[in-house]
Amino acid sequence: MVVGEISQDRELVIIGGGPGGYSAAIRGAQLGLSVTLIEQSSMGGVCLNKGCIPSKVFTHAAAKREETKHLHDLGIGSGDTSFNLKKLLSYKTKVIDGLRFGVESLCKENKIEIIRGKATFIGADRIGVENGHQFDIYVFKQAIIATGSIPLMPVGMQKGPRTLLSHEIFELEEVPEHLIVVGQDYIALEVASSYAALGAKVSILMDDEAGYPFDESINKELNRLFKKRKINVLKISEVLSTNESDDGISIVFQSSKDMEETLQGSHLFLSGDRKPNVEPLGISRFGIKQTAEGFIKVDETMQSSIASIYAIGDVTEGPLLAMKAIKQGKTAVESIAGGKQEVDFTFFPVIAHTIPPIASVGLNEQQARDLEMKVRISQFALAGNGYGTITGKKDGFIKVLSDSSTDLIMGIHMIGEGAIEMSGSFVQLLEMAAKEEDIKFPTYAHPGFNEGLLEAVEGLIGQAIHAAPSKNKKKDLLSI
């Protein structure tokens, strides 16, 4: 190893080139800061290279394959509907490479210095970067930690080639004959939904106590759709053991009825837990405050207990999602540049690229009960939406909750085509403290899925046009 003789000064150093890191770097450059970004692996981080983007290539392909069933009704010859996984993997690589090149080009255009290597904190104001035999020291004014998280194997489970974690499941070179999915978070649901549409037999082992992470109406609809698509959902209390062989994998679990059962499959996917990727940084040497799980404690501006160091994304507490990292990254550099920005995730959207997709923002029905709130509830089925009929995307609904005394919109939940794209509007409505009238007043494009939101809100007071009168009655959720 060759050690740099002289330390080099830098204004802002960002460790990690994932969505949070490169967004922070570009925003910092926009604000006139001199930015250095350190990345050990590929620009774009796990999200672009192994997580968000690869998974959405698969969910997009799965959704398109589902659409082929509708082509015959439109008079379009469907031809060969077989699925070629090798072509999909090639397309995935093309997408990833293109997006990575775009990120690198944006950093170059914004005059961001990119340093390759492994970063380690030497002190509260300096970092060492190792790249092969070279070791350089950088003294910084401010630093942002954006090193993401790494997957954890559940306790007691053995890792083998047929047992796959989130960064591996979309690397398979064959469609599993029988994929067993353990978990019920958005990743598990996307994996189950996608591989089922691509031709795999799929079984989900779901923690009976935790359930799906959505409003109870969406959870019920999910079960209906999974049954329709022959996805087997088994409610369990605990996974006891797994046994992997060259031919397949077996998993022993305790069912929700306290019976020990065994399920055989070809592959096993574990959505599992993740831990913050901070140990290699050496931050424990100078007392930066962390939780028991290792997450870095930050304030509303993303500043840690060390004034010169900020942290964003998966290394901080909260959902381990790219959209959180991006927002935190922008907030951190805006604060460093002298602004008064802060992060507030009160109306953080929960989404899943299932078939159909899901978006959930704000209060759900169970939470309203727990808070003993009195709310109005309306649910509009997309089967009554004209565009849903045209496109054959009639599964799902939009559900709205409002405060019965103030008419404030408290929550919006959707399962159905367009849910992901509409989720931004849901967040904006809740952030702006919209009332029922604020949604009813504007004019909505026709035909379109957006009309479903209008009808759901009109249904709060029995005025939805495309719903039967018996479903239009005002519904109050009384405190329990």
Q: Annotated catalytic sites, by residue?
A: 446
- Strand, helix or coil at 226? helix
Q: Measured at the alpha carbon of residue 339, what is the angle toward residues 333 and 343, in degrees to the nearest 5? A: 65
Segment (H or E) for 45: helix 45-49
| H-only helix segments in 290-435 | 322-336, 365-370, 386-391, 419-431
Distance, in Å, from the CA atom of 11 to the CA atom of 113, rounded to the nearest integer, reads 11
DSSP-derived letter for residue 229 is T
How many beta carbons lie within 10 A of that of residue 93, not counting itself? 12
Distance, in Å, from the CA atom of 64 to the CA atom of 49, rounded to the nearest integer, reads 22
DSSP-derived letter for residue 75 is T
Residue 280 and residue 148 in contact, taking contact as beta carbons nearer than 8 Å:
no
Distance, in Å, from the CA atom of 472 to the CA atom of 91, rounded to the nearest integer, reads 46
**Amino acid sitting at position 207:** D
Residue 152 and residue 241 in contact, taking contact as beta carbons nearer than 8 Å:
no
